[in-house]
Structure 1
Amino acid sequence: MFEIWGLIGSKVASLMFIWAMIQSYCPHQVHALIEKFSEKLANFCYPFVEVRFFENIGDYMRTNEAFLYIENYLTSKSTNQAKKLQGEYVRKSLVLKMDERQKFYDEFEGVKFVWSLIKIVPNTNSVSFYPASDKRFYLLTFHRSHRDFVEKSYLNHVLEQGKEIGLSKRQRKLYTNCTGNGEYERGGKWSHVIFEHPSSFETIAMSPKKKKEIVDDLVTFSKAKEYYAKIGKPWKRGYLLYGPPGTGKSSLVAAIANFLKYDIYDIELTNVKNNAELRKLLIGITSKSVVVIEDIDCSLDLTGQRKTDSENDKEKEEKNEEVNQVAAASLQGLQAADKEKNKASQVTLSGLLNFIDGIWSASTGERLIIFTTNYVEKLDQALIRRGRMDMHIELSYCGFDGFKMLAMNYLSIESHPLFETIQRLLEETNMTPADVAENLMPKVAEEDVEASLERLIQALRTSKEEAEMKAKKEAEMKAEKEEGTGEEGSSEKEAEDAEG
């Protein structure tokens, strides 16, 4: 046995030596002829073609939608053949998928194909809290005589079937941008959880007219692929939701995603280091998605308006004074300031504008971009102009229509003798839908409807009294200020008369 292995090793070594001599001393034409003959011999011995479909593609590790469609297609077919499976709980049912290194034999119009899921684990000698991510791909193997059939028919069949299965059975997800280092950061990674928010337009406390406007706009957008292509614009739309805290901005975002059956990508701008990283995140967003930046007025220093020349000159003078003060600071203070600066996000207004409607924003279609804010007047007009934020939706304090919707949801009633009192109080004071809902929610198991309505009435009366007291106090302070200003003016005038 050992003699046989020794003989094989000797023959392989001889062949390697001969090949090295050919590469070194043979003419180029002879070398090319040998390579051509070797390729024909390999094709004769192994007449199969292999196609790889990676999970992530490109320098920015963008999600390969073909991989997702193939996964859906194989999941629907491969569970009867594969011996090793992965189990996932999707939409209240168990789904079995192919495990790595398992083969699935498919047949389409009499032609046979072999699929397998491969995972490449990168070799690394360093120890990191954020390890390098694995690379996965589906490998398709078929005889080379069926190449044209695969390119023209089979792959189209697989992708179309996988897309239909994905739309009917897919589990929608809520994504957020990661904050890790190393490979997680360089790849512009997203992490996700299953999106199961129950909000819908039937449960949103909003006037029926405004609700209908939003729904009509969403339906029109979802069916406008050809229209956007016709007018030469990317298939996307921007919504600006603004109003006081507790008026239902986040719930409306969830209702929109549920209505369209889109995934949500919630971007935390303070975790994005610079414009380049923001662009990487954009590349990783798939179609049929809602991209959300909540409380954008608090996220970054993007709220300043354009300054005039005089304001810029004044700002430069102030900056020069600050530079002189910083120059006199201690070395320790400078190092601490530099360290803090490096931690802060360097995303600029220009970078965010390019994210919304720059060239890179057209990389994927069928996408909604939603900003929410409590203080719309603070935002730069370039950020929220029409064309970027196409629809401005104000979510204000709770009105009577919104209350009736909440009463139906929380108490299952359409009318009650106390509704008239509540309507009058809602017209006289401001209360957010969140506060109204909290007062309507039963506090004990056996609490009746009237107790919940009485609690809301008491809360509205208290809110009204507090608002009146606050307004009275502000009026008194204003009067005192005006009186003080008048006295100062009289004193100055008397002094001028005395000098004269």
Structure 2
Amino acid sequence: DNQWKEHGYRKIRSFNSVVLKKGEQERILNDILTFKESKEWYNDRGIPYRRGYLLHGPPGTGKTSFIQSLASKVKMNVAILNLSAASNDDSLSSAMAQLPKSCILVIEDVDHYQFDEGLQEKKDDSKANKKNSSSVSVSGILNAIDGIASLEESIIFMTCNDMNRIPPALIRPGRIDVKLHMGYLDDYQAKLIFWRFFCMEEKETS
């Protein structure tokens, strides 16, 4: 029905509850804060007031959790777009036109979708791909994204495991401004997580 459905409220996720590689959390947060303070700069130059991010890497590395923690930090809601729920390009455009204001739009697992024929080669016919097939075209997604530029503070996050499986037009500069690889834990992350879960708890109970 092309409408956004509210799935209730989640407990606010602390920004510090997610640990990325050294300096990366702060880099993305500062980029968003700078964007939110730059509306006049965008308008003066006739540039669509939106910012796009791509988080890519293996499953289970905290991509969605990081987005949730960022949304809490900058006090914005999260709207998750399921491309397979859109029946066609018009359906997608209609849904995007009703996107709630001042929210972060999230398109998860973009590399898992199989888009309308003729705009991207069909992937294999595995059950996983059939499940995530979409009747929207790449151009339909691009038009829908371009159509939300008039909304205040348009922030888009895409996630994927393999960015090489995404149509290049979806993640070119201007649509995706920042790409961040989220891999498995390094020593810095492991030590910080251990300290936060065990050392802080011991300190609080002593």
Q: What TM-score do you get using the length of structure 2 for normalisation?
A: 0.84
C-alpha deviation, 1:410, in angstroms: 1.9
Kindly provide the amino acid, as one letter, of the partner of residue 165 in structure 2.
K
Contact 2:52/2:157, CA 8 A, preserved across alignment: yes
1:355 pairs with one of 101, 122, 144: 144
- Aligned twin of 1:222: 36
C-alpha deviation, 1:223, in angstroms: 0.7
Aligned equivalents of 2:186, 2:16: Cα separation in 1: 16
Contact 2:63/2:159, CA 8 A, preserved across alignment: yes
- Aligned twin of 1:137: none
C-alpha deviation, 1:230, in angstroms: 1.0
Kindly provide the amino acid, as one letter, of the partner of residue 26 in structure 2.
K
1:243-288 deviations in Å (ceiling 9; x for gaps): 0011110111101211111111111111110111111111111321
- Aligned twin of 2:128: none
- Aligned twin of 1:382: 169
- Aligned twin of 1:264: 78
Matches within 5 A, 1:304-319: none
1:373 pairs with one of 157, 160, 177: 160
C-alpha deviation, 1:197, in angstroms: 4.2
Contact 1:305/1:379, CA 8 A, preserved across alignment: no
Aligned equivalents of 1:368, 1:291: Cα separation in 2: 6
- The 3 A distance-change label for structure 1 pair 304 and 404 is farther
C-alpha deviation, 1:200, in angstroms: 3.1
Secondary structure of the residue that 1:232 maps to in structure 2?
Answer: coil
Contact 2:78/2:104, CA 8 A, preserved across alignment: yes
RMSD (Å), alpha carbons: 2.5
C-alpha deviation, 1:213, in angstroms: 1.0
Matches within 5 A, 1:371-410: 371-410=158-197
Aligned equivalents of 1:302, 1:365: Cα separation in 2: 30
Secondary structure of the residue that 1:208 maps to in structure 2?
Answer: coil
Contact 1:243/1:396, CA 8 A, preserved across alignment: yes
C-alpha deviation, 1:301, in angstroms: 2.7
Kindly provide the amino acid, as one letter, of the partner of residue 351 in structure 1.
G
Contact 2:115/2:134, CA 8 A, preserved across alignment: no
Aligned equivalents of 1:209, 1:362: Cα separation in 2: 29
Matches within 5 A, 1:45-56: none
Aligned equivalents of 2:189, 2:163: Cα separation in 1: 22
- Aligned twin of 2:113: 299
Aligned equivalents of 1:264, 1:400: Cα separation in 2: 31
Aligned equivalents of 2:189, 2:153: Cα separation in 1: 31
Secondary structure of the residue that 1:398 maps to in structure 2?
Answer: coil
Aligned equivalents of 2:64, 2:117: Cα separation in 1: 21
Kindly provide the amino acid, as one letter, of the partner of residue 301 in structure 1.
F
- The 3 A distance-change label for structure 1 pair 303 and 369 is farther
Unaligned runs of 5+ residues in structure 1 are 1-184, 308-314, 316-343, 415-500
- The 3 A distance-change label for structure 1 pair 245 and 222 is same
2:135 pairs with one of 346, 359, 362: 346
Kindly provide the amino acid, as one letter, of the partner of residue 183 in structure 2.
S
Runs of 4+ in 1 over 3 A off after TM superposition: 302-307
C-alpha deviation, 1:303, in angstroms: 11
- The 3 A distance-change label for structure 1 pair 302 and 221 is farther
Kindly provide the amino acid, as one letter, of the partner of residue 141 in structure 2.
L
2:27 pairs with one of 196, 208, 213: 213
* More helix, by proportion: 1
- The 3 A distance-change label for structure 1 pair 365 and 206 is same
1:29-79 deviations in Å (ceiling 9; x for gaps): xxxxxxxxxxxxxxxxxxxxxxxxxxxxxxxxxxxxxxxxxxxxxxxxxxx
How many residues were matched structurally?
Answer: 192
Contact 2:76/2:103, CA 8 A, preserved across alignment: yes
- The 3 A distance-change label for structure 1 pair 197 and 381 is farther
Q: Kindly indicate whether residue 51 of structure 2 is the aligned counterpart of residue 237 of structure 1.
A: yes
Q: What TM-score do you get using the length of structure 1 for normalisation?
A: 0.36
Contact 1:243/1:395, CA 8 A, preserved across alignment: yes
Aligned equivalents of 1:302, 1:240: Cα separation in 2: 22
1:76-127 deviations in Å (ceiling 9; x for gaps): xxxxxxxxxxxxxxxxxxxxxxxxxxxxxxxxxxxxxxxxxxxxxxxxxxxx
- The 3 A distance-change label for structure 1 pair 245 and 345 is closer
1:379-429 deviations in Å (ceiling 9; x for gaps): 111111111011001101101111122113321359xxxxxxxxxxxxxxx
> RCO (CA 8 Å, sep 6+): is it higher in 1 or 2?
2
1:159-191 deviations in Å (ceiling 9; x for gaps): xxxxxxxxxxxxxxxxxxxxxxxxxx2xx2211
C-alpha deviation, 1:299, in angstroms: 2.9
Kindly provide the amino acid, as one letter, of the partner of residue 138 in structure 2.
L
C-alpha deviation, 1:214, in angstroms: 0.8
Aligned equivalents of 1:261, 1:347: Cα separation in 2: 31
Secondary structure of the residue that 2:48 maps to in structure 1?
Answer: coil
- The 3 A distance-change label for structure 1 pair 198 and 286 is closer
Between the aligned residues of both structures, percent identity stands at 31
Contact 2:79/2:104, CA 8 A, preserved across alignment: yes
Kindly provide the amino acid, as one letter, of the partner of residue 380 in structure 1.
P
Secondary structure of the residue that 1:194 maps to in structure 2?
Answer: coil
